[in-house]
Amino acid sequence: MPTRLDTPRNQRLPADLIDAWRAVPSSVIADQLGGAGHADPRIRPIRPFAPGQRLTGSAITAWCEPADYGPVHHAIAVAEAGDVVVVAADGRRDAAMIGDLLGGAARLKGIVGVVVDGAVRDIGPVSQWPDFVMFSRWVMPRGPSSMERGIVNGPIVFGGVVVNPYDLVIGDDDGLVFVPHALAQTKLEPSLTRVRNEAEWEKVLASGKTTVETFKVPAIEPL
């Protein structure tokens, strides 16, 4: 089956909405989603993030059949600046789906990252790029063997999470979280409120109060 390009059901999220999400770490939105949006924690960034930095962008999805990376090429071709290419490769370790050549082409377009539920390679040079993020489950020197089959911009399952085109991608050193398109607006303010609350809690704890006092932990019952 040749690579198929689907037409997403959703429209792109507004740029100002995506920008507002840049203040929210993955841990906060993972809690807000009740554990429904975080990918398998074994999918990790290939390098640590700089303090205060994270990956935030709109998902362009690519589903790859075994050892086929054609959809990655096509996803990069249709993605726009600020997007994140999300590659569902079934967690396979036998072939890398992307390396420095495809990653470099994505970077030149202004794509901010590629996340792979599978393998990547060439992490030496790619990890030195300050404006491009890569997450993967595995690192594998061998590349793919075909480029003919798969689907771009269809619904996928990535690290156990259903991801649709234009869902919001948030990634940092704690992992990857996907915010469904329909929740990107409604979950923003509760998430920003939690960020502000955590900043206040840090001040309270720094003043000498205990975590029991600060978080109103129920008292210990005497034996």
Cβ-contact 199, 57 below 8 angstroms? no
Considering only residues 144 and 62, tell me which one the structure prediction assigns the higher pLDDT. Answer: 62
Helix (H, G, I), strand (E, B) or coil at 55: strand
Q: What does the pLDDT read at residue 45? A: 98
**pLDDT, tens digit, for every residue of 181-203?**
999 999 999 999 999 999 999 99
Q: What does the pLDDT read at residue 145? A: 87
**pLDDT, tens digit, for every residue of 108-142?**
999 999 999 999 999 999 999 999 999 999 999 99
**pLDDT, tens digit, for every residue of 203-218?**
999 999 999 999 999 9
Whether this prediction's pTM lies above 0.85 is answered by yes
Domain architecture of the chain: domains with CATH: 4-182 (3.50.30.40)
Nearest to 27 by CA among 160, 176, 157, 136: 176
| 167: confidence class by pLDDT, cuts 50, 70, 90 | very high
**pLDDT, tens digit, for every residue of 25-60?**
999 999 999 989 999 999 999 999 999 899 999 999
Q: Is the pLDDT confidence value at 106 over 80?
A: yes
Summary mean pLDDT of the chain: 96
Q: β-strands 4-5, 150-152: how paired?
A: parallel
Helix (H, G, I), strand (E, B) or coil at 193: helix
Q: What does the pLDDT read at residue 66? A: 87
Q: What does the pLDDT read at residue 1? A: 62
**pLDDT, tens digit, for every residue of 60-80?**
999 999 889 999 999 999 999
The DSSP H or E segment spanning 88 is strand 83-88
| 222: confidence class by pLDDT, cuts 50, 70, 90 | confident
Q: What angle do CA 69, 70, 74 make, to 5 degrees?
A: 120
Calculate mean pLDDT across residues 77-87: 98
Q: What does the pLDDT read at residue 78? A: 97
Helix (H, G, I), strand (E, B) or coil at 53: coil
